[in-house]
Structure formats: structure tokens, C-alpha cells
Amino acid sequence: MAARAAAAAVDLAKISNLGLGKQTLAQISAFRKRADDAKRQLAQLKQQNTNVDFAHYNKVLRNKDVVSQAQKILSEFKPVTFDVQAQLKAIDAFEAKANIQDARSFDQLTVDDVVAARPEIGRTVDEMVKKGKWTTPGYDEKFGNLSAL
């Protein structure tokens, strides 16, 4: 339930004014366009008539058995319903535990906060320091070497 309410409260105009990069803004605008197109298409489909005129098909088709069989299948069709309350409760519990609304922003985190949240990072860094490794593997390949030497 909370996820649905959060999705309804997303202010894409405010997000686009956060000083994000060009590529991120392009992705957000593409997402916004796809979402608007999906909403428009859903509204159009909801307005369409979904009833089947079996009398018309009985007049047009010679094989009346096909029409009666299709009518029988359609009348017996029951959409499968799933009880998603357990999943919704799990999502709500996760959101409550995550405490996203009251969490500090990323730029306010300290190294101690990160190590407390993910102890394996602290162990990895300690191991790298013991071995005398002062660089992160793959960093230079991905971001380039920024050293002035």
C-alpha cells in the first residue's frame, strides 16, 4: 500500500530540477513519456466495449459449434486471483525497517556508518591495507588515473 501511495506522489518536475546529469534527465523524461503513454493507452482500453456479440457470429459463421464452444469457454472463464496481502505486508515491513524517510542523505554518511551497515566492506579494506594495496581494483580502468604524478 505504501509503495502505491509513494508512486502516486512522485513529482517528476521536482526531480528534474535537482541538478542531475543530462543522461539521467534524458532517462527520466523517457520514463515519464512511457508512463504517460501507458496511462493514455489504459484509459483508451478501459473505454472499449469488451462484450462479444455471439448472435452476430452465429449469423456469419456456418460452424455454430465453434461459436457455442467459444461462448461456453468465455462464460466459464474466471480470472485467477492471488492473495498478495502477505507480499504487501512484507513490503511494508521492509519499508518500515529501511526507514527511508528519516535516513540521512548519502553525502552526510561517514565511513563508520557505511562499515556499520556493511561490515564486509570494513573487513575488505582492512585486508587491503594489511597487504599494502592502496587502490581499488578496476577503478583506474573505469574512471581513469587522476594522479598528477
- The pLDDT tens digits for 116-149 are 989 999 999 999 999 998 888 888 888 888 776 5
Residue 41 lies in a domain: yes
Which residue, chain included where needed, has cell 505504501?
A: 2
C-alpha cell at 64: 455454430
In a domain, 103, yes or no: no
pLDDT digits (tens, 9 = 90+) for 5-55: 555 667 777 777 777 888 888 888 899 899 999 999 999 999 988 888 899
For 37, 41, 47, the CA distances from 44, given in Å and listed in that order, are 11, 5, 5
Looking at the domain assignment, is residue 67 inside a domain? no
The answer to the question of residue 77 being in a domain is no
* pLDDT the model gives residue 10: 74
Task: Report how many domains make up the chain.
Answer: 1
Tens-place pLDDT, residues 50-108: 888 899 999 998 999 999 999 999 999 998 898 999 999 999 999 888 877 777 788 88
Domain that holds residue 21: 11-47
1 within domain boundaries? no
Q: Would you say residue 72 lies in a domain?
A: no
Give the separation between CA 114 and CA 108, rounded to whole angstroms. Answer: 11
Domain assignment present for residue 139? The answer is no
Q: Is residue 106 part of a domain?
A: no
